[in-house]
Amino acid sequence: MTKIMINPITRLEGHGKIAIFLDDDGEVSNAYLQIPELRGFEKFCEGRPAEDMPQIMQRICGVCPEAHHLAATKALDNLFKVEPTSTAKKLRELLYSAFFVTDHATHFYILAGPDFIMGPESPPAERNILGVIGKVGVEIGKKVIQTRQQNHWVIQTIGGRGIHPVFGLPGGVSKMLSEENRAKTEEIAAQGVEFARFSLKIFEDLVLKNKEYLDMVLSDTYTHRTYYMGLVDENNKVNFYDGKVRVVDPNGKEFTKYSPAEYLDNLSERVEPWTYLKFPYLKKVGWKGFIDGETSGIYRATPLSRLNASDGMATPLAQEEYEKMYAALGGKPVHHTLATHWARLIELLFAAERMLELSRDPEITGPNIRNIPTETPVEGIGIVEAPRGTLTHHYITDEKGLIKKCNLIVGTTNNYAAMSLTIKKAAQGIIHKGTEITEGLLNRIELAWRAYDPCMGCATHTLPGELPIEISVYDADGTLIDAVKRF
């Protein structure tokens, strides 16, 4: 067979384009992150039965189908004015906690870990999961894969399918949990708790005890004072599945707390001519451009944001870690973008502990898994926390339940303005007059961005599966003077 080498470009517009503009002195004046457009989603949904939304919505993006499935299911509860049974809510949250365990574990070990475990300046060929297991041991790699597999089993068992669950229905779920599967889930959850504690220990040993890394985490290059958003329960504790959306200001004071129905009173979306994606911002503060601080409506919705926006964690071990993090970083809120990695591991522990609690709940194997809707649909809103931020689904239907209009604010979109700020600041800290644009520089800028775990509905699978990034640098006249493409 003739061997051919292909040079994939993945998607014509399917990559993050970062454009950096220099001023007359060769310093960074502006940086833009352009995100590819996926077209026609609203039109695609129009006229379809609302009941199809939990299936369709989770195909928007291959990275977090479970989040879209549950946000859509909760929007249907609201649309058909039906309260799910207690067992159904717990089963939904149990599946969702297992999903958070897989997602957060993957991010830390596969995506964030290489920067810290191998070092941000290490050669690209080593700065990946292979380098990580070379350094910390093959057993850890096996443990990561095992954790993912076990929790995928939980998702498949409760959700009915490995990818794209089919269990969410207005008013409940489609299947009860057997005692045998409950017992296995409990075992997996207990192992998840240990795995999360072990991961926090690795983070402490490799990052917190390494002065160079800690300085990087605390450096101004990776710091922004913004508002923070996250779902909280009735005690203002972090909750991924349900509650009210709480926003705190840059000083940590509660700014607003709203139920899903009030999201449009609190958020607006800014359109910029250079990108397809809209920038959500806090309506009551207003859009002041790409600046941080109390006068700017830019907010963040990330694992760190959720911890900042809450009064603590609802499970004991995660609460201990929460207190430890804020004590170490000088109190609440924490504004250091790279501390998001620490917060993510605390959430990993919370998700595993919550799984354990729910798997031991006597109601979890109960037969009462659905209330049948009887009301005429008009409008429904559902909110969950996706791993990457608060996820809002909003549907308006006719009286037959056919979609007339739908609006989504997805996890990554919340952070679009903040990511743009982050990139600009990182570029300003790194590029100066005469700086040569190198692969290492690309990584230093990308490192800030990676903390947000951005998901762009692109490069989720297309071969070879790497999200390509292109950084272009323009001089004061707008002439392209340097570019790095990683695809």
Partner 1 sequence: MEKTLVLGIGNSVLCDDGVGIRVATEVGKRISDPSVTIAEACQGGLFLLEAFLGYDHVVLIDAIQTKGGTPGQVYDLQPENFISALHLSSPHQVDFTTALELGKALGFPMPSSIDIVAVEAGDVTTFREKFTPEVEKAIPVAVEMALRKCPTHINHIRED
Angle at 224 between CA 221 and CA 226, to 5 degrees: 170
- 53, 326, 450, 473: which one binds partner 1 (CB under 8 A): 450
Q: Are 384 and 391 in contact (CB under 8 A)?
A: yes
Cβ nearer to partner 1, comparing 360 with 405: 405
Cβ nearer to partner 1, comparing 326 with 449: 449
* Residue 327 engages partner 1 in binding (rule: CB under 8 A): no
d(C-alpha 287, C-alpha 279), whole Å? 9
- 124, 252, 366, 429: which one binds partner 1 (CB under 8 A): 124
Cβ nearer to partner 1, comparing 161 with 201: 161
Instruction: Show contacts of 204-212: CB within 8 Å, 24+ apart.
Output: 206/116, 206/117, 207/116, 207/341, 207/342, 208/328, 210/116
Cβ nearer to partner 1, comparing 63 with 158: 63
Distances in Å between the alpha carbon of 225 and those of 256, 307, 331, 421, 430?
17, 15, 14, 11, 20
Residue 407, beta-bridge partner list: 394
Candidates 58-66, 81-89, 236-244, 474-482; binding stretch for partner 1 (CB under 8 A): 58-66
**Residue 421, both tokens:** 């700020």
Candidates 13-21, 207-215, 314-322, 392-400; binding stretch for partner 1 (CB under 8 A): 13-21
Q: How far is the CB of 381 from partner 1 (least distance, A)?
A: 21
- 26, 119, 120, 141: which one binds partner 1 (CB under 8 A): 141
Q: Which positions from 148 through 167 interact with partner 1, judged by CB under 8 A? A: 148-149, 152, 163-164
* Residue 353 engages partner 1 in binding (rule: CB under 8 A): no
- 189, 356, 467, 473: which one binds partner 1 (CB under 8 A): 467
- The pairing of strands 469-474 and 16-22 is parallel
* Residue 209 engages partner 1 in binding (rule: CB under 8 A): no
Cβ nearer to partner 1, comparing 129 with 202: 129
**Residue 407, both tokens:** 């609006």
Candidates 12-20, 21-29, 173-181, 353-361; binding stretch for partner 1 (CB under 8 A): 12-20
* Residue 271 engages partner 1 in binding (rule: CB under 8 A): no
Query: By three-state DSSP, how is residue 32 classified?
Result: strand
Cβ nearer to partner 1, comparing 106 with 226: 106
**Residue 415, both tokens:** 């952070």
* Residue 483 engages partner 1 in binding (rule: CB under 8 A): no
Q: Which positions from 80 through 109 interact with partner 1, judged by CB under 8 A? A: 106
Instruction: Show contacts of 130-139: CB within 8 Å, 24+ apart.
Output: 136/202
Alpha helix (H) residue ranges in 329-391: 340-359
Q: How far is the CB of 464 from partner 1 (least distance, A)?
A: 4
- 21, 44, 258, 474: which one binds partner 1 (CB under 8 A): 44
Angle at 193 between CA 357 and CA 87, to 5 degrees: 25
- 466, 476, 481, 483: which one binds partner 1 (CB under 8 A): 466
d(C-alpha 452, C-alpha 303), whole Å? 9
Q: Give residue 331's identity as a one-letter amino acid code.
A: G
- The pairing of strands 168-169 and 267-270 is unpaired
Query: DSSP secondary-structure letter at 138?
Result: H
Cβ atoms < 10 Å from Cβ of 203: 22
Q: Are 332 and 88 in contact (CB under 8 A)?
A: no
Residues of the shown chain interacting with partner 1 in the complex, contacts defined by CB under 8 A: 1, 3-14, 16, 36-41, 43-44, 56, 59-60, 62-63, 65, 106, 110-111, 114, 124-125, 127-130, 133-134, 138, 141-142, 145, 148-149, 152, 163-164, 443, 446, 449-450, 453-455, 458-467, 486
